[in-house]
Structure 1
Amino acid sequence: MKACGVFRAEKEVVLLELPEPSSPRPGQILVAVEAAGVGPWDELVIDASWDVELRPPAALGVEGAGKVLAVGAGVTGFAVGDRVLAHEAPLPGGSGFWAERVLIDADHAAACPPGLDAVHAAALPVNGLTAWQSLEKLELGRGQRLLITNGGGATGALAIQLAAAKGIEVTATASASGAERLLGLGATEVVDYHDPNWPTRLPGGFDAALIIADGTAGTALPLVRDGGRLCSLTSDAPPEERGITSWDLYVEPNGAQLFQLAEQVAAGTLELAPEPLPLSEGPAALARVVAGRAGGKKVVLTTA
Structure 2
Amino acid sequence: MKACGVSATGVAETVLLSLPEPPPPGPGQVLIEVEAAGVGPWDQLLNTGGWDVGLRPPAALGVEGVGRVRAIGPDVQGISVGDRVVAHEAPLPGGSGFWAEQVLVTAAHTAPVPTALEPVEAAALPVIGLTAVQTLEALGLTTGQRLLITNGGGSTGALAIQLAATAGVEVTATASPSAAERLRECGAAEVVDYHDPAWPNRVQGGFDAAVIAAPGTAVIALPLVRDGGQLCSLTSDAPASERGITSTNLYVRPDAAQLTQLATGLAHGLLRLTPEALPLTEGPAALDRVAAGRTAGRKLVLVP
TM-score w.r.t. the length of structure 2 is 0.99
Match of 1:205 in 2: 206
Residue 169 of structure 1 aligns with an amino acid whose one-letter code is E
Are 1:297 and 2:285 counterparts? no
User: Displacement, 1:276?
Assistant: 0.1
Matches of residues 89-238 of structure 1 in structure 2 within 5 Å? 89-238=90-239
Are 1:83 and 2:70 counterparts? no
Aligned residues: 303
Match of 2:8 in 1: 8
Are 1:52 and 2:53 counterparts? yes
Residue 37 of structure 1 aligns with an amino acid whose one-letter code is G
CA distance in 1, matches of 2:115, 2:133: 22
CA distance in 1, matches of 2:50, 2:256: 24
Residue 3 of structure 1 aligns with an amino acid whose one-letter code is A
Q: Could you say what secondary structure the match of 1:130 adopts?
A: helix
Q: 1:92-134 CA distances to partner (integer Å, 9 max, x unpaired)?
A: 0000000000000011110001110100000000000000000
CA distance in 1, matches of 2:48, 2:112: 32
CA distance in 1, matches of 2:158, 2:284: 25
CA distance in 2, matches of 1:117, 1:202: 39
Residue 105 of structure 2 aligns with an amino acid whose one-letter code is I
Q: Could you say what secondary structure the match of 2:300 adopts?
A: strand
User: Displacement, 1:91?
Assistant: 0.3
User: Displacement, 1:77?
Assistant: 2.1
CA distance in 2, matches of 1:13, 1:242: 44
CA distance in 1, matches of 2:174, 2:159: 14
Q: 1:230-262 CA distances to partner (integer Å, 9 max, x unpaired)?
A: 000011101111110010000001111000000
CA distance in 2, matches of 1:215, 1:239: 14
Residue 97 of structure 2 aligns with an amino acid whose one-letter code is G
CA distance in 1, matches of 2:165, 2:204: 20
Q: Could you say what secondary structure the match of 1:275 adopts?
A: strand
Q: Could you say what secondary structure the match of 1:67 adopts?
A: strand
User: Displacement, 1:48?
Assistant: 1.2
Residue 155 of structure 1 aligns with an amino acid whose one-letter code is T
Moved over 3 A (4+): none
- CA RMSD in angstroms, aligned pairs only: 0.5
CA distance in 2, matches of 1:278, 1:176: 30
CA distance in 2, matches of 1:78, 1:255: 13
Match of 2:255 in 1: 254
CA distance in 1, matches of 2:276, 2:293: 14
Are 1:40 and 2:11 counterparts? no
Aligned residues: percent identity?
69
CA distance in 2, matches of 1:168, 1:64: 30
Q: 1:196-227 CA distances to partner (integer Å, 9 max, x unpaired)?
A: 11000011000000000010000000000001
User: Displacement, 1:43?
Assistant: 0.6
Q: 1:263-295 CA distances to partner (integer Å, 9 max, x unpaired)?
A: 000000100000000001001111111111011
